[in-house]
Amino acid sequence: MSNDKVKDSALFDKIVANISKNGPLSLDSYISHALGDPDYGYYHSRDPFGTSGDFITAPEISGLFGEMCGLYLAHIAELSGLREPAIFELGPGRASLILDMRHAWQQVMPTLVTAPLHLLETSPRLRCIQQDLLSGVNFFFHENLDHLPAQPIFAIANEFFDALPVSQAILRQNANDGGGIWRHRLVGLLNGQLGFIDGPPLSPEEVSDWALEILQTEETDPLPSSVINNHTIAEYCPLAVTYAGKIAHHLRAYGGACLIIDYGRDGQSGGSLQAVANHQPVDVFYQPGSADLSHWVDFSAIRRAAEGAGARLVGPITQGEFLRNIGIIQRSEALAKMADVETRRGLFAAVDRLVSNQHMGSAFKVALMLPPGAGLPPGFTTCSEGAALS
Ligand code: SAH
């Protein structure tokens, strides 16, 4: 047996022992174990990025992505007129994005390079990689968002929210009157294997937090009421709501902005939880700790959390639209003029991957969290504030 196999079955055994002792787990607790177990969790035991890992994120595709995000945040920082801001990144991965942003700031706004840098990262393995790559930089690691610095923050979260543990509920309809109740979907043991089992009904507060009344009544929602039927699955990411609320609270108190980029929708996506191991889709219970588990981000839940804490969320718009709005095509054409044929080809292929609808352009969305105010910031002028986007 390979070392990885031993580790994978070790986490399975640990989770099974936990369920046998304490009963079924909520889905988000199961995902927390699978991704974050200190010994065998997916993010703790491997580097998931790049061609040898399970996924390639936008900053890993091209340095141009980080450069454009850096130039954009510098412009927003300049417009805000705020002094002594801090920089904050949620889930820095291999630190490619922050390094590319700092490179851009060096040219246009060196004060952002010397500003203190705060990183939310829980994986010891990725912290080591980030520490090496950021040697000489004044930065601080955070385990959660409880100790943000008392100053304005300009923040970015790329493919962070999709990696947070999500919960699910399932609609069980009553055959007699068609009425139904939402039940938690828990993780239990079925013939010695991990599987979904029905849990208790959602409380009225949970139905409201998950916005399930909206799901059942709004025709314009990405999951319109016409497709709500027996066994429909709904998702809710408690940590996303907590983190969005904390950032919003901070922005309201001190000012700044937070750019959020992720695949998702402006509403529920239903059962979007997916598992990927070795570039292949696998069952969500496949060898816990060896597969990446992620879900489609519900930007409407992030907006509700932002508004609940007195801030606002502009967008989402598609990544393709956002990057075009902020000039990625013009920038790539300018770079291409100075490049040899092969580099130019690589550059245009990377831009296509980032903006075209066949690749990341439409599945990925971009939103900007801001302190309360009115009007649309640059980059989002094509969006109607709070418009639904599926
Ligand atoms: N932003 C990077 C990496 C995205 S992967 C990029 O675009 O390439 C998700 C990142 O979030 C990883 O760094 C992972 O370790 C971190 N992460 C995942 N769950 C987290 C949690 N609960 N708290 C803090 N960081 C987390």
DSSP 283-333: -TTSSTTSSEEE--EEHHHHHHHHHHTT-EEEEEEEHHHHHHHTTHHHHHH
Cα–Cα dist 81/83, whole Å: 7
Q: Give me the pLDDT at residue 49, please.
A: 73
Looking at the domain assignment, is residue 171 inside a domain? no
Looking at the domain assignment, is residue 11 inside a domain? no
Looking at the domain assignment, is residue 382 inside a domain? no
Cα 257 vs. chain centroid, distance in angstroms? 16
| Nearest CA residue ID for atom 21, ligand 1 | 122
Q: Give me the pLDDT at residue 8, please.
A: 54
Q: Give me the pLDDT at residue 384, please.
A: 63
Start-to-end CA distance of the chain, whole Å, equals 45
| Nearest CA residue ID for atom 16, ligand 1 | 91
Residue 115 is part of a domain; what is its CATH number?
3.40.50.12710
pLDDT per position as a tens digit, 338-379? 999 999 999 999 999 999 999 999 999 999 999 999 899 999
Q: Give me the pLDDT at residue 1, please.
A: 45
Find residue 276's DSSP bridge partners: 281, 292
Distance from the alpha carbon of residue 224 to the mean position of ligand 1, in angstroms: 31
Find residue 167's DSSP bridge partners: 236
Give the list of residues 6+ apart from residue 136 with CB closer than 8 angstroms, or none: none
Distance from the alpha carbon of residue 160 to the mean position of ligand 1, in angstroms: 5
Is the bond preceding 149 in cis, omega lying within 30 degrees of 0?
A: no
**In terms of residue numbers, what domain contains 329?**
58-163+238-370
Cα–Cα dist 58/130, whole Å: 17
Cα–Cα dist 137/132, whole Å: 10
Distance from the alpha carbon of residue 336 to the mean position of ligand 1, in angstroms: 32
Q: Give me the pLDDT at residue 176, please.
A: 62
Q: Are 23 and 181 in contact (CB under 8 A)?
A: no
Distance from the alpha carbon of residue 89 to the mean position of ligand 1, in angstroms: 10
The pair of structure tokens assigned to 217 is 């009544």
Q: Give me the pLDDT at residue 220, please.
A: 41
Looking at the domain assignment, is residue 324 inside a domain? yes
Best of 28, 31, 33, 43 for a ligand 1 pocket test (most atoms within 8 Å of beta carbon): 43
DSSP E strands in 108-201: the ranges are 117-120, 139-142, 153-158, 167-173, 180-190, 193-201
Best of 121, 141, 144, 294 for a ligand 1 pocket test (most atoms within 8 Å of beta carbon): 121
Looking at the domain assignment, is residue 172 inside a domain? no
| Nearest CA residue ID for atom 18, ligand 1 | 163
Residue 160 beta carbon below 6 angstroms from any ligand 1 atom: yes
Q: Tens of pLDDT along the chain (390 residues)?
A: 444 445 558 999 999 999 999 999 999 999 999 999 988 999 877 777 766 666 789 999 999 999 999 999 999 999 999 999 999 999 999 999 999 999 999 999 999 999 999 999 999 989 999 999 999 999 999 999 999 999 999 999 999 999 999 999 999 876 665 567 899 999 999 999 999 999 999 999 999 999 987 554 444 444 545 456 678 899 999 999 999 999 999 999 999 999 999 999 999 888 999 999 888 999 999 999 999 999 999 999 999 999 999 999 999 999 999 999 999 999 999 999 999 999 999 999 999 999 999 999 999 999 999 999 989 999 998 776 544 443
Distance from the alpha carbon of residue 340 to the mean position of ligand 1, in angstroms: 35
Q: Give me the pLDDT at residue 44, please.
A: 79
Question: How many domains is the chain partitioned into structurally?
Answer: 1
Looking at the domain assignment, is residue 217 inside a domain? no
Ligand 1 atom closest to the CA of 58, numbered from 1? 7
Looking at the domain assignment, is residue 25 inside a domain? no
- Backbone φ and ψ of 38, nearest 5°: -60, -30
Cα 319 vs. chain centroid, distance in angstroms? 14
Q: Are 170 and 183 in contact (CB under 8 A)?
A: yes
Distance from the alpha carbon of residue 196 to the mean position of ligand 1, in angstroms: 26
Looking at the domain assignment, is residue 213 inside a domain? no
Distance from the alpha carbon of residue 163 to the mean position of ligand 1, in angstroms: 7
Q: Give me the pLDDT at residue 213, please.
A: 74
